[in-house]
Amino acid sequence: MINEHDPSLARMSVFGITHLQKQSPLMIAWWSAVFPGFGHYFLNHYIRATLLSLSEVFINTFAHINDAMIYSFCGKFELAQSVVQPKWAFGYLIIYMITIWDSYRLAIYQNKVFDLTCLKNEQISRIGIFPLEIQFLDRKKPIVGAVYSFLFPGLGQLYIHRFGLAFYAMIWWWIYLYFSKLHESLLQLMLGNLQASNLILQQHWLLFMPSVMGGAIFHAYTTTIEHNKLYRIAQRQYLKNRYRKDDFLIFHKQV
């Protein structure tokens, strides 16, 4: 938590680096619309983001929102109307809209906190040693984090040392793969059995996967960029403090 006694841009814990950064409120709101909870992940509100993402999966499943969406996309409006569960759908809609607004509001406020914190220019820790983990700031390649998340969502978060979020994402990706039967469907498609491939797929769980993969890729990519910025700031602060009182010249004027 940022307060008067700890006004640094970033703070390390055993779970990773939690930091303030400049965000586009509209982009944050859009990610909350794509998958409730994702906007809060980008704002580093990990607990509420995790709870919101869990509520999205469970309430969506009980309300059959994904099934209704797919039937609507296919023009089967009567089937979509029959499959949706109103007792869950109305509650889902309220939570969905409030989640979008809350992430938008938080993004605006945290941008102000970010600007004020930058003015204080407090020292950023470059390394944290804990009983179960070692965390540190170093330079990484954003494209590597994005590629890791593309290959398997969660690996990009492991690359940037958010191992709690990484394993949470990987466990859920395995759940999506299992219930959607995507791998079995791809195998049948590779064998030329197009009809069998379509019949195997479970549409409800499949519809979660593009949003999850896109969010994992974007999160890993943008967080890597922000960590690189924090690394440069921390290095600049260290060098300034180290040589501030020294009469040290890199180039000497020749007489």
The answer, yes or no, to whether residue 5 has pLDDT greater than 80, is: no
| Token representation of residue 136 | 């540190």
3-state secondary structure of 20: coil
Q: What is the pLDDT of residue 239?
A: 82
Distance (Å, whole) CA 46 – CA 82: 36
| Cα-based distances in Å from 22 to 87, 105, 110, 195, 246 | 39, 13, 8, 48, 34
| Token representation of residue 21 | 């950064």
Average of pLDDT values for 150-164?
Answer: 95
Lowest mean pLDDT of 16-25, 115-124, 218-227, name the range.
Answer: 115-124
User: Binning pLDDT at 50, 70 and 90, where does residue 126 land?
Assistant: confident
Lowest mean pLDDT of 32-36, 48-52, 113-117, 238-242, name the range.
Answer: 238-242
Distance (Å, whole) CA 147 – CA 134: 24
Listed in sequence order, the residues at least 6 apart from 67 whose beta carbon sits closer than 8 Å to its beta carbon are 80, 83, 84, 203, 204
